[in-house]
Amino acid sequence: MTLKEIRDNKYFLEIGFDNFEDYTKKNFGYSRNTVNERIASAEEWGQDYNRALGLYGKHKTKQLAQFPETARYVVIEKGIPTENGMKNISEATVREIETYKKQLKQKDERISALESAEPRVIEKRVEVPPSDYYSLQRANESLQREVETNANKLANVQSLLDLAQQKYRLLESESREAQELKANIDSLRNQKESLDKKVKATFEFNELVTEINQVFDAKMASLRFKPIVNELYDTEAPKQLTELVNNISFWVDEMRKIIPNDNMKIIEGELL
């Protein structure tokens, strides 16, 4: 802190030096950049600077000074995750600390991007031919890919939610930052619930399509290509078959009304 005062107030001029670089090299054997880095670390650590130097050395002390204060407290108390498990700061290498610092920065950037993202209007159109087996099979494969995509999105949202919750617990609940984080957590939780419902609905739809296809193949095809009702013309079978056909026709008409087409759009959005 004394060096900071000498630098900021240009006291080195009063003892015959033209610049801070000459002063630091002459008196300490270090360049101005090295001294400035140590001043920055000392400012971050405060009264704990000398203790940190003794515990971690100058390189780790400099790295830890670049962590946000809350994150620095966590890694000092709990350690950092590495490829070989959790390590305390004394055991962790300079490279492992640097890698974890970059990971935290990337997660903060992802949270910032999520917070700044605007609601999007999504338009989807799904066409499922009701009587073609191979078309139904391709549609099922497409739905399965959509399930996997939604599952990946769900995993990403869950990761962001876990990070936001961990950060929130480290803050005072009444602080402004904590309130903003709580709003973000609520938003992430709503997205997670929405994706949960979408994944569940896709699975249920897959099962229904498969069951309907099996009914067409195993049951209804026999009525079409093996008209057994001709043998029952003088029974109640023709009347019952007529009622069945009418019910199926009504179901088809109703389904055509709700399937999205060029004149109908499904709008998904979020109210903020």
Across the 272 residues of the chain, what is the mean pLDDT of every consecutive 10-residue run?
86 87 89 84 70 74 76 76 82 84 82 71 56 64 79 84 77 66 85 85 80 75 62 72 85 84 64 70
Cβ atoms within 10 Å, residue 64: 21
Neighbours of 11 (CB within 10 A): 15
In whole angstroms, give the CA distance from residue 42 to residue 22.
21
Which residues have a Cβ under 8 Å from the Cβ of 217 and sit 6 or more positions away?
133
- The pLDDT, as a whole number, for residue 118 is 58
CB count in 10 Å sphere of residue 3:
19
Dihedral class, residue 198 (left if φ above 0, else alpha if ψ from -120 to 50, else beta): alpha
Residue type at 29?
Answer: G
Amino acid at 36: N
Q: What is the pLDDT of residue 138?
A: 74
Report the pLDDT value the prediction gives residue 252, as an integer from 0 to 100.
Answer: 87
For residues 160 and 110, is the Cβ–Cβ distance under 8 A?
yes
SS3 call for 87:
strand
List residues bridging with 85 in a β-sheet: 82
Q: What is the pLDDT of residue 233?
A: 64
Which residues pair with residue 179 across a beta bridge?
none
The distance of Cα 17 from the centroid of its chain, to the nearest Å, equals: 54
Half-sphere exposure of 102 (CA within 13 A, CB side): 7
CB 167 within 8 A of CB 150: no
Residues 93 and 84: beta-carbon distance below 8 Å: no
Q: Which of 74, 122, 127, 121 is nearest to 101 (CA)?
A: 74
pTM: 0.30
Structure-block tokens of residue 155: 């995993």
**Domain segments of the chain as ranges:** 2-101, 133-227
**pLDDT recorded at residue 182:** 80
Give me the amino acid identity at 263.
Answer: N
Distances (CA, A) of 233 to 167, 180, 224, 225: 75, 74, 16, 17
